Structure 1
Amino acid sequence: MGSGVLPAALLAGDGVVEGMLRRTGGMFGLWAPGLGRAVVVSDPALVRAVMRAPDGVMAASPAGRMREPVIGPRGLARLEGDEHREIRSIMAPVVRDRVHERLREATERLALRAAATCPRGRPFALRPLLHRALLEAVLELVAGLSPERQRAWRTPLRELLRRADSYEVTVRYALRHAGALDWWPGYHRAKEACDRLIHAEIRRRRKAGGEGDDLLGALLRARDDDDAPLPDAVVRDQVMSMIAGARTTTANGLAWVFERVVRHPEVLRRVTGESEKGEGDAYASAVTYEALRVRPPVTFFGRTVRRPFELGGRMLAPGTTVIVHLRTLHHDPALYPDPAAFRPERWLDGRPAGYGWMPFGGGAHTCLGDRLAMVQMRTFLQVFARELALSPAWPGDERVRWKAFCNVPAAGCRVIAHPR
């Protein structure tokens, strides 16, 4: 295993990291600010071993803690062990069942509204529009807010999430022990404004007896082992976690879906035909899987070693962070022949076995909103294909831009739309 002081290795570009992983057999070591000792892996067998390690051996990575300035100290991505299992068990039936039941209809309505607001006949960036639409969706599905009640939330949430998407949060987290997070007045103003809104909604809903068949209602009705309600601070962090996740993984993933599709006219024609004929969404699903494979919206995720752990024939010491590099994993030619090609047909026979496709993470810390995100992405894709004739603003690919743990289209997914 190669090792060294490589504080910028993960920021140097996917090509650099991929080359190092190829040369070292799918695993190399580094040291980075905010993480300390780490190893980067991409071999599916190593990834599987990490994801299947029990709680006592592996914990969620410090990368999850880097999201703490937005999601809070008790957001689901920050929790471990029994507390993580307890909160997840409360949220899962709502997010994956009750919310899911009404998701398609709500998403179709929002997608139609978003398509109607697209400029016609001139280039524009689609990604900001998708961010706005999916923020509306998550506020409705998670907190039950009508469009009218959402107005007061939009500006402070956008300001806080804008800072969460910036390089600044990465640097400040790495320097947190020097007070870099404490001395950040713009962030604190935005966070306090968001917290006031969320806590006011929590108080209103508690007075109403925890009403609502949504995530907030379920959290307010939940009881711990002592039959006590969850503290308001814990409820706040779960609501903020879902809001932040919808904006990052879902909106950025959807931007990549469109960036890929408009550059492959035959794929777009087939999606359009499926949507217009009402033939289900099998092909739209395959397109979404393939776009998230070739352009995973999350750069990497990881776990932290709690007890000495053997990986790939090497013993890792407690405190070591194991980082899964998604682009290299998703471009493994042993899993995906001709891995650089955008070929949705490879997904029509189902997903690959094991741990070869992981845009939503894996194991006990798999993103709880993964199914919701997939429904939203393929619904937006079908609605836009049916309503608009889309083409790229230029024929070449948009380059990948690394932005606070996410991969985004560098130009914001610039397209040209005409009415169909």
Structure 2
Amino acid sequence: MGTIVLPAAMVLGEQVVDRAFSRMGGMFGLWIPGVGNAVMLRDPALIRQVMLAPADVIDDYEVNRVQSPVIGRQGLAVLDRAQNRCLRQIMTPALRPEALLRLRELTALRAQRLVDECPVGTPFALGPRLRTAMMETILTLIIGEDRSPAFGEWIRVTTRMFQRAVSAEITVRYMLRHVGGLALWPSFRRSMDVCDRLIYTEIDRRRHRGEDRDDLLGVLMRARDDRGAQLTDQALRDQVMSIIAGARTTAATGIAWAFERVVRHPEVLRRLTAESDAAAQDVYAGAVSYEALRVRPPVAFFGRKAQRPFELGGRLLRPGTAITIHLRALHHDPGLYPDPTAFRPERWLSKRPGGYGWMPFGGGQRTCIGDRLTLMLMKTFLHVFTRSAVLSPAEPRDEPIKWRAISNLPGHDCRIVVCPRTTAP
């Protein structure tokens, strides 16, 4: 395995990564500004070795601190294994399938409202509207069904903050964080401070009123650790931001890619529409969601770090080496998926994704706790849109992949055309 210097490997795009894998196989070495020595993987056997390694050999949380400017130091993704396991046990009941039934109904209503708001018969970008809809849906999960002016303020403040948090600028600033790249970013800091005040005000209001609500914030405020201590306000804030960040990154982008793929595959759209009309099941919508997350994973990569010398693929990794799992390259491995670039939901009708070849939500103990929630959101939006409207692409060519922060976004923000089914030819 060779090593290449790619000071902007992830900024230069997929072609750079593809060429490197083509030359060097399932793993290659690189150097990343702000990170240092690293290896990038797409081989599922090597990924499995990394994921199953003991915690004292492979660190699975320090590298996630790239998210800490947004989710804080106590967010689920950046806690050590013991703390992560404890908090997951607290949060999981609020995200089980039976607990999501009510949210599914609310999601369907929000999706229908979005369909009704779409321009008719003219190309438009669905992506920004999806991000707003996702923000409203996730905030409903977090703080409840509140349509007061305060809820609107939550939408405005969090949307404004995340527009900066997922900008290309944050990538450069994170690489320069040791020389003040993040600390010297007043507009981001101001947006974050406004967002934090909103969260802390809601926590304080509930404590003083003795409110005991069934939304996710209520679940977290009732939680106690093994010693009977409740979560601190800082920990509560960080979990709220973690959930919002995950929904914006994975759910909203995943749904946008699902629509971008579906409208360019008429047979898939026809079959999905037939299922949504029947309203009896969501098996095909699930297959569409799995396949969209495979061919266009919303998160570009996730990582680990060697704590001790670690032999991987015939190479001895030194302590401190970052290990990056490149998801699109993994998901396009022809050894795992025949004709890997083709969009074929039928791949998943006789099986469910598993193992180390499909990882849009990460893996191991660090698997995204909102994976079921994301899939529910995707299936619901797909069904509501295809049941209510005739969809087509704004242009026949595939939208390019646009890399921003750690996300893969539709290059034209999912431009489609929506026509009412009653008036469509």
Compute the TM-score of the two structures, normalised by the length of structure 1.
Answer: 0.97
* Aligned counterpart, 2:10: 10
Helix, strand or coil: the match of 2:418? Answer: strand
* Aligned counterpart, 1:183: 184
* Aligned counterpart, 2:58: 58
Q: Which moved more, 1:388-397 or 1:351-360?
A: 351-360
1:210 is displaced (CA, Å) by 5.3
1:206 is displaced (CA, Å) by 2.0
Aligned-partner Cα distance in 2 for 1:275–1:299: 30
* Aligned counterpart, 1:200: 201
Equivalent AA in structure 2 for residue 258 of structure 1:
F
Equivalences for residues 269-288 of structure 1 within 5 A: 269-288=270-289
Is it true that 1:39 corresponds to 2:39 in the alignment? yes
* Percent identity of paired positions between Structure 1 and Structure 2: 56
Does the 8 Å contact 1:272/1:385 carry over to 2?
Answer: yes
* Aligned counterpart, 1:79: 79
Q: Which moved more, 1:147-156 or 1:315-324?
A: 147-156
Helix, strand or coil: the match of 2:39? Answer: strand
1:34 is displaced (CA, Å) by 1.9
Is it true that 1:409 corresponds to 2:407 in the alignment? no
Point out 4+ residue stretches in structure 1 off by more than 4 angstroms.
none
Unmatched segments (≥5 aa) in structure 2: none
Aligned-partner Cα distance in 2 for 1:144–1:373: 18
Deviations 1:131-155 (A, max 9, x none): 0001000000122151323111122
Helix, strand or coil: the match of 1:335? Answer: coil
* Aligned counterpart, 2:160: 159
Equivalent AA in structure 2 for residue 320 of structure 1:
T
Is it true that 1:143 corresponds to 2:143 in the alignment? yes
Aligned-partner Cα distance in 1 for 2:269–2:276: 11
Does the 8 Å contact 1:60/1:77 carry over to 2?
Answer: no
* Aligned counterpart, 1:383: 384
Aligned-partner Cα distance in 2 for 1:241–1:120: 35
1:113 is displaced (CA, Å) by 1.0
Q: Which moved more, 1:287-296 or 1:8-17?
A: 8-17
1:84 is displaced (CA, Å) by 1.6
Aligned-partner Cα distance in 2 for 1:211–1:274: 39
1:33 is displaced (CA, Å) by 1.2
Equivalences for residues 235-246 of structure 1 within 5 A: 235-246=236-247
* Aligned counterpart, 2:303: 302
Equivalent AA in structure 1 for residue 289 of structure 2:
T
* Aligned counterpart, 1:261: 262
Aligned-partner Cα distance in 2 for 1:275–1:145: 26
Does the 8 Å contact 1:99/1:214 carry over to 2?
Answer: no
1:208 is displaced (CA, Å) by 3.9
Does the 8 Å contact 1:96/1:369 carry over to 2?
Answer: no
Q: Which moved more, 1:271-280 or 1:223-232?
A: 223-232
Q: Which moved more, 1:75-84 or 1:354-363?
A: 75-84
Aligned-partner Cα distance in 2 for 1:32–1:255: 29
* Aligned counterpart, 2:124: 124
Q: Which moved more, 1:209-218 or 1:108-117?
A: 209-218
Does the 8 Å contact 1:223/1:229 carry over to 2?
Answer: yes
Aligned-partner Cα distance in 2 for 1:64–1:245: 13
Does the 8 Å contact 2:114/2:133 carry over to 1?
Answer: yes
Equivalent AA in structure 1 for residue 12 of structure 2:
A
* Aligned counterpart, 1:365: 366
Equivalent AA in structure 1 for residue 233 of structure 2:
D
Does the 8 Å contact 2:301/2:325 carry over to 1?
Answer: yes
Aligned-partner Cα distance in 2 for 1:69–1:96: 29
1:355 is displaced (CA, Å) by 0.8
Aligned-partner Cα distance in 2 for 1:263–1:80: 43
Helix, strand or coil: the match of 1:74? Answer: coil
Aligned-partner Cα distance in 2 for 1:341–1:103: 33
Aligned-partner Cα distance in 1 for 2:347–2:97: 28
* Aligned counterpart, 1:30: 30
Number of equivalent positions: 420
Equivalent AA in structure 2 for residue 7 of structure 1:
P
1:4 is displaced (CA, Å) by 3.4
1:313 is displaced (CA, Å) by 2.2
Does the 8 Å contact 2:61/2:79 carry over to 1?
Answer: no
1:219 is displaced (CA, Å) by 1.1
1:185 is displaced (CA, Å) by 1.1
* Aligned counterpart, 1:248: 249
* Aligned counterpart, 2:336: 335
Equivalent AA in structure 2 for residue 87 of structure 1:
L
Deviations 1:141-171 (A, max 9, x none): 1221513231111221111100111011111
Deviations 1:35-88 (A, max 9, x none): 111100000101111112222222235552121111111111111122222222
Relative to structure 1, the CA distance from residue 62 to residue 406 in structure 2 (aligned partners, 3 Å threshold; closer, same or farther) is: farther
Unmatched segments (≥5 aa) in structure 1: none
Root-mean-square deviation (Å) = 1.4
Helix, strand or coil: the match of 1:268? Answer: helix
Helix, strand or coil: the match of 2:4? Answer: coil
Aligned-partner Cα distance in 1 for 2:230–2:352: 39
Compute the TM-score of the two structures, normalised by the length of structure 2.
Answer: 0.96
1:13 is displaced (CA, Å) by 1.5
1:288 is displaced (CA, Å) by 0.9
1:97 is displaced (CA, Å) by 5.0
Helix, strand or coil: the match of 2:5? Answer: coil
Does the 8 Å contact 2:330/2:358 carry over to 1?
Answer: yes
Aligned-partner Cα distance in 2 for 1:58–1:195: 33
Aligned-partner Cα distance in 2 for 1:102–1:59: 37
